[in-house]
Structure 1
């Protein structure tokens, strides 16, 4: 028996020396985990992810060289179901069962925060996006003096959204009376926070804010908020709400005779599908713009311009481009770049490579430990957009109407009051 085994080993060695034994490429696999809301009320944030992942499979078809060895790349997508508890559960599955080398996550604090927390706890490197940095950092009890050890973030901050919203409001004639819609969730509590959010800077600019208090997502009756806004003569409405709540509020505002001159909402008004669902209520609404086909950036991975990436998405899916495409793509740019620079697949080496990132991506430059507000935060540019009636096949179009905060991003028009 021993002789047979020895002969077998010798024979295999001889075959290998002769080059007739195929190399088993799959033996060296690197897994990248990705958690986003594929279902539930936040699903529009994850709508482009499967398309982006298919694009990445093509980009990674020849594998990645990590620490001098070629690795097959596997991307494992998990659905947070728009639920923070579920997001944490699937993140733990990816870490403990799938043994991912690097985690990516995006799509509001309800997904990105619990995933980031799971990675910090399990000492696995994580890159997150599509959450203003304050709810991501302070919402996770971050200490500015220490930062986080394993989790890194790329996006803009509340200071940027406040600057863009108010830049737009200053360009039109209003009485400077603002009504706030801030729900009881990670974003709403941050945006409405007296120190970190809107109240303090608005007061400093001479705006008065009517904040009727927190409400639960999925609220069916905004009569109390509308009554408070009417009582105070509000002409500008702002806040950060999920798409179904925006539709409920806007419909009830019209029914109850409340007609503000400007409505600028975060989150709810980002997606063409949500605006189309509003019908004529959607025309003239304004929102933050994180990425468009006209952004002057290109992918470090595929070399596509922002426009080429958006065009590829539209031709591949038959759907209108949507803002998260750029950030889902950029997360994989960072992942590819960091893994290819990592000394090995040890978690600490991958984390160190992420931390040392300095990369021009399709959403702009990404660099940690530099001029960002925290060592774990890399800021991306932000402008203001307004939804207008579309031309041709498109029912609605998002036009950049103010770029004072990021002059390198071109405008397509100026802010108009709601008709």
Structure 2
């Protein structure tokens, strides 16, 4: 049925409205909130609650509970107050499942807006379903290139119903290069890029790390794409040793890095700097590595030290992070800020929409967003391509402190407005 609606040029809302014209009881088929005393706006939410990407969704319950509390009185729009219903579903870290639950939210739950986060395995299939069914969609937690080009986006035209905010590969490259240049080590880099959307984007010979490294005087050894969840990195380790690599970089899920890091130690490969995207984001994983986690480096999306506050609650980045720790008993994690910002933007869109019964009016409000959030400013008028708004990025290191492993910002070349909180030390 989805294909029929798309082929005939009508979405699920116009189908229902049009079908009601020839029926005796149109109120059954039209949106009930038009006549209800307490109209409801529905937000669909998709994230990887389970599976290998579950770390990205660790704080989902805390964030959504906080948003529900902040919106308990509803959202004012055009003289009416709309109650907010958030329907959250688990992608199980599987792109096919992400598409399936997005379809359920759109066609079954009939959400007005759908949001999603956490790597292209979630953002892309959800966005594709939203685009197909003409439902406004906002996503985050994925570099913009895998999101945009991974969906075959055309910079000249972009997409119609799907919008994204996050940083890009150019930002992570700048952050990593700045940190490596400060380290003083040999400019020989070993690349670990998996055969998935992120890995293929990071390792892309035109838009990814290779041309940027070569252009900055670094020598890259790239043994080629490996399959995610592989159990043997011997060939990569051998290539890095032969090339004299003192830096290792790439984009990996945590289980893959754990396997690589253990085998590197066993095979006598000891780089002076190890800077990995994705794998090293979460304190629980770093703690699981023991002393081998001390000194690992990564991109830093968001910390309690970021100088931003929530447009929804007024909480500072520190207050939001401290609230999670107090509620869960666990350390703060970087996705907290972006998960919260996702609902900041959505709430702002709902407040500004000219007609909440019209998806095109909601879409116009999305495109017109100009909002300071707890992760930085979101404005789609100034992105690198249509449908993308960039947020600031820095880099840093896990260092053993009085309270265990702590993430400190050691390099802020790409976002000087975010203060550094420590200095880089070499491994070993």
Question: Which residue of structure 2 aligns with residue 411 of structure 1?
Answer: 420
Shift of 1:174: 1.6
In structure 1, distance between residues paired with 2:236 and 2:257: 13
Question: Is the partner of 2:89 in helix, strand or coil?
Answer: strand
Q: Does 1:364 align with 2:376?
A: yes
Question: Which residue of structure 2 aligns with residue 280 of structure 1?
Answer: 291
In structure 1, distance between residues paired with 2:208 and 2:424: 23
1:32 alignment partner, one of 43, 62, 68: 43
Q: Does 1:79 align with 2:85?
A: no
Q: Does 1:355 align with 2:367?
A: yes
Question: Is the partner of 1:148 in helix, strand or coil?
Answer: coil
Q: Does 1:173 align with 2:154?
A: no
Q: Is the 8 A contact 1:25 1:72 kept in 2?
A: no
1:26–1:234: structure 2 CA closer, same or farther, 3 Å change rule? farther
1:295 alignment partner, one of 306, 312, 315: 306
Q: Does 1:262 align with 2:273?
A: yes
Shift of 1:65: 2.0
Q: Is the 8 A contact 1:192 1:198 kept in 2?
A: yes
1:128 alignment partner, one of 125, 135, 139: 139
Question: Which residue of structure 1 aligns with residue 125 of structure 2?
Answer: 114
Report Cα offsets for 1:273-306 as digits up to 9, x if no partner.
1101111111100000000000000000100000
Question: Which residue of structure 1 aligns with residue 407 of structure 2?
Answer: 398
2:336 alignment partner, one of 301, 309, 325: 325
Question: Is the partner of 1:180 in helix, strand or coil?
Answer: strand
In structure 1, distance between residues paired with 2:37 and 2:413: 50
Report Cα offsets for 1:95-148 as digits up to 9, x if no partner.
001111111100000000000110011000111000000000000000000011
Report Cα offsets for 1:217-267 as digits up to 9, x if no partner.
111110110001011111100000000011100000000000001000000
1:49–1:26: structure 2 CA closer, same or farther, 3 Å change rule? farther
Q: Paired residues, what number?
A: 393
Q: Is the 8 A contact 1:37 1:80 kept in 2?
A: yes
Shift of 1:68: 2.9
Q: Is the 8 A contact 2:117 2:141 kept in 1?
A: yes
Structure 2: 5+ residue runs without aligned partners?
1-34
1:172–1:241: structure 2 CA closer, same or farther, 3 Å change rule? same
1:253 alignment partner, one of 245, 264, 277: 264
Q: Is the 8 A contact 2:38 2:81 kept in 1?
A: no
Matches within 5 A, 1:28-177: 28-177=39-188
Shift of 1:27: 4.7
After TM superposition, the score normalised by the length of structure 2 is: 0.91
Q: Is the 8 A contact 2:98 2:125 kept in 1?
A: yes
- Which range is displaced more, 141-150 or 166-175? 166-175
Report Cα offsets for 1:338-391 as digits up to 9, x if no partner.
001001121111111010000000001110122x10121110000001000131
Question: Is the partner of 1:369 in helix, strand or coil?
Answer: helix
Question: Which residue of structure 2 aligns with residue 376 of structure 1?
Answer: 387
Q: Is the 8 A contact 1:25 1:71 kept in 2?
A: no
After TM superposition, the score normalised by the length of structure 1 is: 0.93
Q: Does 1:341 align with 2:352?
A: yes
Q: Is the 8 A contact 2:48 2:57 kept in 1?
A: yes
Shift of 1:36: 0.5
Question: Is the partner of 2:396 in helix, strand or coil?
Answer: strand
In structure 1, distance between residues paired with 2:418 and 2:75: 33
Q: Does 1:235 align with 2:249?
A: no
Q: Is the 8 A contact 2:41 2:84 kept in 1?
A: yes
Report Cα offsets for 1:191-240 as digits up to 9, x if no partner.
00000100001001111111111111111110110001011111100000
In structure 2, distance between residues paired with 1:81 and 1:264: 27
Matches within 5 A, 1:4-23: none
Shift of 1:327: 0.3
Q: Does 1:224 align with 2:235?
A: yes
Question: Is the partner of 1:293 in helix, strand or coil?
Answer: coil
